[in-house]
């Protein structure tokens, strides 16, 4: 067997030429999006008013297993991909574990996260459609940053509605987006009707993701030549993110490594769905078996404490209904520091797979997550994003168990991004001021009582 | 010829096993450091009170051309090296230039800059000497961050004196260092005698690099088991940083590419000296010729407007005298945003080479530097540090000239790091609030009038 380097880099010629569409191999397909007004499945025409045409096609296609990655997107991918699959030799030594730990590091680009994989694809299809620009919302800022970079590359205008509290607390995120030429508007704003309405009703509000979505959708549908784009949850996003898993699998195959456990953090599912895609394919086809573990924050535990039902994707209840594990669109997670893992629901595809027993899920409290993050940073060098640190925490737990049992398991986890913009959270952690917020059963019962009743 | 990929990554087996010591091939050696009290060259014994033994040996060795990189350091290098040599295809297309542009990107590690190459070496020798820890100062924070990471890896204590104004303005830098377990003290502080003296004399002072150096040196010499380490200017630092140039040359040679111009930013010389090392070797030995260009800020123009003379390395005048291009140790650069390029002097090695006509130098104003930085970010994706953007600016100028003349020159420049911690500067630039400060001839005459008179 070839000697395994610290970092496995594929050659450019080994990079994926196709995205893999997980749904094609699912026996039970994810349930369709429903029109909230009629209860009927959303049509391509209905979706086309908001989203780009080709992206609507991808969203609705649950039968084609492989879609060719356009040449232009592959060209852009080459600027920062292949991303390295790193053998965590130093962490293994520190833990004194017989386990072998690998991580796929997606933070090696200026956006600092895996979000760029889908941002560039969505910007490309917007460009191909001859659009002037796109609109979106951003909370933590990873998606907005990635989309700004992608739009800059294709010369598209990019309007980002940033949750006001983040806009004020994360000025650096805002400046990166401006560097790439995006317009960043704190939400709620006076630039949209819905924004003005919300500001009138709640003058001092610091905004919410739900409100920012509403503004971005309005801006897309009222400005000719614009469409709305989204960085997670949707099937199209999981499709684009499959590049993470395809590269991971190609790198492992190259060195004849077979993972036992695959671990990823899960907010809306963009990273996890991408990382596990080709492994889940084998599992769905009965060709191989793996343990697949979704990690979510204990403060926003949609898989582990939510229910599997149709719900709104946004707080404003203007978007289609999706069948997913949800805490209720009314659920407001306590202020944790993993902004990318604060969505009340979960990708419909991942929800169906979890429901059908193909995946496990675990919820972890944030202080332990930051302990794992710091432990990891000190030995592996990389400063992880709080979101990514959820996966680190569970990978370390797994490796510790191997130490007890003596098992030489191979663990693969997704390191989705870097924590350069999350140092306020690290500061709190260092100063011992970080706490854990875990919703009570009553909290959840309350928000779950408001699920839409389908006719 | 092999097809040239976007990013040339060496195989682990192709990574340098030796550092290259530029001084060995210089006909006129850099002048020795002098004891300010006696005017005599500093001895190994004198230096050994402040610096680690092996590092003193490296500092004084101007004859051995190649020094083996210890196995442990090569092991650490593998965690983030080889760094990519990137072909700037997108920038070339944007500029419509026939020039071919390559950049060696050193920002792909958590410290975010090339500083880690020397930090890990210095920490290693401190560990081998059985020390408890090291002390240092940091201004912009790149060096402090890199050293914290390196000390964390070897289990060494790390005391960083951070210029107070930076400590307050750059809390994120501070938190990264704390994440890696370093103690970060705002300077001047009450923890050293010199700090207390300065605070008594100047109660409201926000500190200076010279003051932080003095505190760090005092902390090293008064705490048993500690030594002082420095991130630039010294010969040992250029030695360690030669790994940048050696990798660059190996990558170019692999694809039979011969550069015409090599460009690097220059503050104390750590990056430039490392990048050019193997190319300068060929030039010194008459084996090949290249244009080599140092880029400095117009606000701190030591090469282009300083004089070549013995001067103090620190504002506090406690360090040895070095013969270098200097603006006078009394020179205080106007507040620009390239904190790593604000040193009043320059590496003695690079100073001698410049004096002997082996290099060119150019000074550039900061608004143009940020214009180049933004232009680069938008097409190449990477958000550059302001320091690195000095090299980008001159590389773009060179490529624009090629467009005029039709020359297909090959340009290589060093992209030393990322700008995640410099977004206050980007914000000023976006808001049109950035200005240029260029010292007058009178300013320079004043600070240069205070050079030490050697007996």
CB contact under 8 A, B381 and A178: no
Bridge partners (DSSP) of residue A418 are A384
From chain B residues 164-183, the ones with a CB under 8 A of any chain A CB are 171-172, 175-176, 178-181
Interface test with A, best of B175, B389, B421 (most A CBs within 10 A): B175
CB contact under 8 A, A420 and B423: no
Which of B78, B80, B179 lies nearest to residue A383, judging by beta carbons? B179
Q: How large is the ipTM? A: 0.84
Gap between the Cα atoms of B84 and B106, Å rounded: 8
CB contact under 8 A, B426 and A12: no
Which of A9, A181, A383 lies nearest to residue B9, judging by beta carbons? A9
User: Quick one: tokens of B8?
Assistant: 């040339």
Residues in B closer than 8 angstroms to A9, CB to CB, are 9
Per-residue pLDDT at B207? 83
Q: For chain B, give the secondary structure using H, E and C.
A: CCCCCCEECCCHHHCCCEEECHHHHCCCCCCCCECCCCCCECCHHHHHCCCCHHHHHHHHCCCCCEEECCHHHHHHHHHHCCCCEEECHHHHHHHCCCCEEEEEECCCCCCCECCHHHHHHHHHHHHHCCCCEEEEEECCCHHHHHHHHHHHHHCCEEEEEEEHHHHHHCHHHHHHHHHCCCEEEEECCCCCHHHHHHHHHCCCCCCCHHHHHHHHHHHHHHCCCEEECCCCCCHHHHHHHHHHHHHHHHHHHHCCCCCCEEEEECCCCHHHHHHHHHHHHHHHCCCCCCEEEEEEECCCCHHHHCEEEEEECCCCCCCCEEEEEECCCCCCCCCCCCHHHCCCCCCHHHHHHHHCCCCEEEEECHHHHHHHHHHHHHHHCCCECHHHHHHHHHHHHHHHHHHHHCCCCEEEEEECEECCCCHHHHHHHHCCCCCCCCCCHHHHHHHHCCCCCCC
Size of interface A-B (CB pairs under 8 A): 103
CB contact under 8 A, A5 and B171: no
Mean pLDDT along residues A107-115: 90
Share of chain A above pLDDT 90, in %: 80
The listed range with the strongest mean pLDDT (A25-39, A305-319, B326-340) is: A25-39
Task: Calculate how close chain A gets to B151, using CA atoms only, in Å.
Answer: 9
Per-residue pLDDT at B316? 65
User: Quick one: tokens of A100?
Assistant: 């072998």
CB contact under 8 A, A78 and B6: yes
Per-residue pLDDT at B109? 86
Shortest CA distance from B148: residue in chain A: A378
For residue A76, the surrounding DSSP H or E stretch is helix A71-80
Interface test with B, best of A2, A76, A79, A251 (most B CBs within 10 A): A79
CB contact under 8 A, A179 and B378: yes
CB contact under 8 A, A377 and B78: no
Per-residue pLDDT at A334? 76
Mean pLDDT along residues A239-264: 97
Pairing verdict, β B85-87 and B100-105: antiparallel
Residues 6+ away with beta carbon under 8 Å from B128:
B54
Task: Calculate how close chain A gets to B405, using CA atoms only, in Å.
Answer: 28
Interface test with A, best of B378, B380, B426, B431 (most A CBs within 10 A): B378
Gap between the Cα atoms of B275 and B277, Å rounded: 6
Per-residue pLDDT at A287? 97
The dihedrals phi and psi of A262, each to the nearest 5 degrees, come to: -125, 125
Per-residue pLDDT at B4? 78
Share of chain B above pLDDT 90, in %: 80
User: Quick one: tokens of B393?
Assistant: 């600016």
User: Quick one: tokens of B290?
Assistant: 């290249």
CB of B403 within 8 Å of a chain A CB? The answer is no
Per-residue pLDDT at B455? 55
Quick: pLDDT tens for A383-396.
999 999 999 999 99
User: Quick one: tokens of B359?
Assistant: 């290099």
Gap between the Cα atoms of A322 and A309, Å rounded: 8
Shortest CA distance from B427: residue in chain A: A175
Length of chain A: 455
From chain B residues 110-149, the ones with a CB under 8 A of any chain A CB are 110, 112, 149
Shortest CA distance from A94: residue in chain B: B153
CB of B430 within 8 Å of a chain A CB? The answer is yes
Quick: pLDDT tens for A408-436.
999 999 999 999 989 989 999 999 999 99
Which of B109, B381, B427 lies nearest to residue A110, judging by beta carbons? B381
Walking along chain B (455 residues) 10 residues at a time, the average pLDDT comes out as 78 95 98 93 94 97 98 91 94 97 93 96 98 94 95 95 87 92 95 91 83 90 95 95 98 96 96 98 98 96 97 79 92 78 92 98 97 95 95 98 98 96 92 93 94 79
Residues in A closer than 8 angstroms to B149, CB to CB, are 381
Gap between the Cα atoms of B322 and B215, Å rounded: 20
Gap between the Cα atoms of A174 and A141, Å rounded: 8
- Confidence band, pLDDT 50/70/90 cuts, at residue A337: confident
Task: Calculate how close chain B gets to A370, using CA atoms only, in Å.
Answer: 10
Largest Cα span, chain B: 67
Our CA angle for A445, A446, A449, nearest 5°, is 80
Gap between the Cα atoms of B283 and B301, Å rounded: 25
Shortest CA distance from A374: residue in chain B: B179
Residues in A closer than 8 angstroms to B421, CB to CB, are 420
State whether residue A18 is helix, strand or coil.
strand
Per-residue pLDDT at B381? 87
Reported pTM: 0.90
Which of A12, A175, A427 lies nearest to residue B423, judging by beta carbons? A175
CB of B79 within 8 Å of a chain A CB? The answer is yes
Which CB contacts under 8 angstroms, 24+ apart, belong to B41-44?
B42/B320
Gap between the Cα atoms of B212 and B162, Å rounded: 7
CB contact under 8 A, A420 and B421: yes
CB contact under 8 A, A149 and B7: no
Task: Name which of B117, B94, B116, B105 is nearest B412 in CA terms.
Answer: B105
Gap between the Cα atoms of B50 and B39, Å rounded: 18
- Confidence band, pLDDT 50/70/90 cuts, at residue A125: very high
CB of A422 within 8 Å of a chain B CB? The answer is no
Per-residue pLDDT at B39? 92
Gap between the Cα atoms of B114 and A122, Å rounded: 34
Looking at every residue in chain A, the average pLDDT score rounds to 93
Task: Calculate how close chain B gets to A426, using CA atoms only, in Å.
Answer: 7
Per-residue pLDDT at A343? 85
Gap between the Cα atoms of A25 and A19, Å rounded: 14
CB contact under 8 A, B179 and A426: yes
DSSP string spanning A323-368?
EEEES-TT------S-GGG--SS--HHHHHHHHTTS-EEEEE-HHH
Per-residue pLDDT at A455? 54
CB of A388 within 8 Å of a chain B CB? The answer is no
Pairing verdict, β A85-87 and A7-8: antiparallel
CB contact under 8 A, A7 and B78: yes
Residues in A closer than 8 angstroms to B374, CB to CB, are 179
């Amino acid at each position: 067997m070839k000697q395994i380097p610290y970092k496995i880099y594929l050659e450019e010629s080994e990079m994926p030429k196709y995205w893999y569409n997980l749904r094609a191999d699912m026996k039970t397909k994810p349930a369709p999006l429903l029109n909230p007004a009629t209860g009927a499945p959303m049509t391509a025409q209905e979706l086309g008013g908001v989203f780009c045409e080709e992206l609507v096609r991808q969203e609705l296609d649950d039968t084609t297993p492989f879609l060719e990655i356009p040449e232009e997107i592959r060209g852009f991918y080459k600027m920062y991909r292949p991303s390295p699959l790193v053998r965590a030799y130093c962490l293994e030594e520190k833990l004194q574990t017989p386990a072998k730990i690998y991580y796929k590091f997606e933070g090696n680009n200026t956006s600092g996260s895996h979000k760029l994989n889908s941002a560039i694809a969505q910007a490309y299809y917007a460009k191909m459609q001859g659009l002037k620009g796109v609109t979106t919302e951003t909370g933590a800022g990873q998606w907005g940053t990635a989309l700004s970079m992608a739009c800059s590359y294709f010369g598209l205008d990019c309007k980002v509605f940033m949750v006001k509290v983040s806009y004020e607390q994360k000025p650096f995120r805002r400046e990166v987006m401006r560097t790439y030429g995006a317009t960043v508007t704190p939400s709620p704003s006076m630039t949209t009707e819905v924004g003005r309405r919300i500001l009138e009703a709640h003058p001092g509000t610091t905004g919410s993701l739900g409100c920012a979505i509403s503004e971005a959708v309005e801006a897309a549908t009222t400005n000719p030549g614009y469409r709305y784009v989204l960085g997670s949850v949707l099937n199209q996003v999981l499709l684009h993110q499959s590049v993470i898993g395809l590269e991971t699998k190609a790198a492992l195959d190259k060195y004849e490594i077979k993972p036992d456990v695959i671990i990823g953090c899960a907010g809306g599912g963009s990273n996890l769905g991408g990382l596990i895609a080709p492994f889940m394919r084998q599992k769905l086809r009965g060709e191989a078996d793996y343990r697949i573990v979704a990690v979510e924050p204990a403060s926003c535990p949609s898989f582990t404490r939510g229910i599997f039902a149709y719900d709104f994707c946004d707080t404003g209840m203007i978007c289609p209904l999706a069948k997913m594990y949800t805490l209720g669109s009314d659920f407001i997670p306590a202020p944790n520091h993993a902004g990318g893992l604060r969505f009340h629901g979960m990708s419909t595809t991942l929800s169906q797979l979890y429901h059908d027993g193909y995946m496990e899920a675990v919820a972890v409290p944030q202080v332990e997550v930051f302990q794992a993050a710091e432990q990891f940073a000190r030995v592996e060098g990389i400063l992880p994003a709080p979101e990514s640190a959820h996966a680190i925490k569970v990978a370390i737990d797994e490796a510790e168990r191997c130490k007890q049992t003596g098992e030489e398991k191979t663990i693969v986890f997704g390191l989705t991004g870097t924590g350069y913009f999350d140092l306020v959270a690290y500061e709190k952690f260092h100063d011992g001021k970080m706490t854990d917020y875990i919703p009570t059963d009553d909290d959840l019962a309350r928000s779950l009582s408001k699920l839409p009743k389908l006719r």
